[in-house]
Amino acid sequence: MMKSVLFWKITTLLGLMILMIIPVTQLMNVIEERSGYRQSVVGQVSESTSRAQRILGPLIVIPYIEREEKKDDKGQPTVQRVRHYRYLLPENLQVSGKPNVEVRKLGIYQTQVYQGPLKFQVKFGQPELADLQRSNVTLEQPYLLVALSDSRGIKSISPLASAQPPTTFEPGTRVDALPQGIHAPLQLAALQKEGLDADFTLTLAGTSSLSLVPLGRSSELTLQSNWPHPNFLGNFLPDERKVTEKGFSARWRSTWFANNINSAFHYDDGIIDEDKLPTFSTSLIEPVDHYQLTERAVKYAVLFIGLTFMAFFLFETLTGLRVHPIQYLLVGAALVLFYLILLAFSEHFGFATAYLLASVACSGLIAFYLSAVLRGKRRGAMFAGSLLMLYGVLYLLLQSEDNALVLGAGLLFAILAGIMLLTRKLDWYQVADPARLSGEIPTADGENRFRLWK
């Protein structure tokens, strides 16, 4: 077996395949590095504008001070004043917005930022404060609170229009657990008598995503945007949505029966865990950028190289024409270079254009080279055409992630069927015979086949 030409041929090809894994691995490192540069640009833009926005509110906060008499270490009576907050959630919350997405570039990298008005319409019932009507409790002025992830994104806000005298918002939330946001003072007497029907408009900017906590007993969020690639996240999908090339529109609805959000607020001790509250959310970034697509393409590099080497091996076996290992190696290098060209050009022209340029350039180079190696322009063109077909299938795999397994399985089945069809009458014992050193050897089908290697 060790003297078999076929054995050494296959061993050499396996060695070349292992050798080609080295530049493929280096390509993955380059993609990760370039993607890291892009993420740093996104971070810089976020730090210069504002981060992803998560809106908690509006809700009414009623602070009060409770006096407690206790004895100190010496047994002397002392009075301690403890501040508490009572939260009043809205009966009905409706928010409608039109965030406009813009592309911001920094060098060759880009990210998306959004800005637009959000109109809030909210209705609160009368607060239940009978248990606080005690001599040791002092009620303070209530206020309407809207908490944000990044208050730098506030561009403007209208006065609070309500049944009470119109009032303007002030910075801060006055609640330690919610460090960023705005608040508007309210009149306690009017609140106890009529509740609150209010509306205001908040013009907000942010990056990456926009989220709203559905605090109301009945909550609704409606968004319209020019961004054609929304990714609906959060705990609830929109009940209605429409996505076109010009943008999207979506509407979310929820109630306390579905989200149980009212139980997340302790009566006096505040919020259980603000970060774990359910949200209506949408992402306003590219769902899959060219770095992710290129990385997924590189994962097929070993398969492409293996199929090309297999095609050469079958060509040698069926025709007797020799292909030197160095020639295998050069063709493999051209196949690896495809992914580097794809990465470089996708940063400037987009993935689709870069993919077309890289596939045509590398297939053309391989066609030119194989015309001499295989002793015929037709043979070189056939190999290049087959390679372009493989690139076309790979592009479909990358663009249709849901059907990738079906397409991949179908491709492998077709390739295996082709190999079995071409070699169904081949006598592999004669191919592996070390005595095949010269001349022609008849095969099982009566045709002459030249030896594998001289």
What pLDDT is stored for residue 199 in this prediction?
92
What pLDDT is stored for residue 1 in this prediction?
47
Buried-exposed string 287-316: b where 16+ CB fall within 10 A, e elsewhere: eebbbebbbebbebbeebbebbbebbbebb
Residue ranges of the chain that CATH labels 2.60.40: 54-287
Predicted confidence pLDDT, tens digits, the chain (454 residues): 445 566 777 788 788 888 888 888 888 888 888 888 777 777 777 777 788 899 998 999 999 898 887 776 776 778 788 888 888 999 999 999 999 998 877 767 777 889 999 999 999 999 888 888 888 888 999 999 999 999 999 999 999 887 567 789 999 998 888 889 999 999 888 888 888 999 999 999 998 889 999 999 999 999 999 999 888 887 899 999 999 989 999 999 999 999 888 887 765 555 556 777 899 999 887 766 788 888 888 888 888 888 888 877 777 776 667 778 888 888 888 888 988 999 889 888 888 899 999 999 998 898 888 888 877 788 888 888 888 888 888 888 777 666 666 776 777 787 778 777 877 776 666 655 555 444 444 444 444 444 433 3
What pLDDT is stored for residue 451 in this prediction?
41
- Among left, alpha and beta (phi > 0; psi -120 to 50; other), residue 172 is left
What pLDDT is stored for residue 219 in this prediction?
96
Q: Nearest to residue 85, comparing CAs of 136, 150, 141?
A: 141
Q: Name the pTM for this structure.
A: 0.71
What pLDDT is stored for residue 56 in this prediction?
93
Instruction: Return the CATH fold of 54-287.
Output: Immunoglobulin-like (2.60.40)
Is the bond preceding residue 228 a cis peptide, omega within 30 degrees? no
Q: Going by DSSP bridges, is the β-strand pair 280-283/209-212 parallel, antiparallel, or unpaired?
A: antiparallel
Q: Going by DSSP bridges, is the β-strand pair 270-271/265-266 parallel, antiparallel, or unpaired?
A: antiparallel
What pLDDT is stored for residue 445 in this prediction?
47
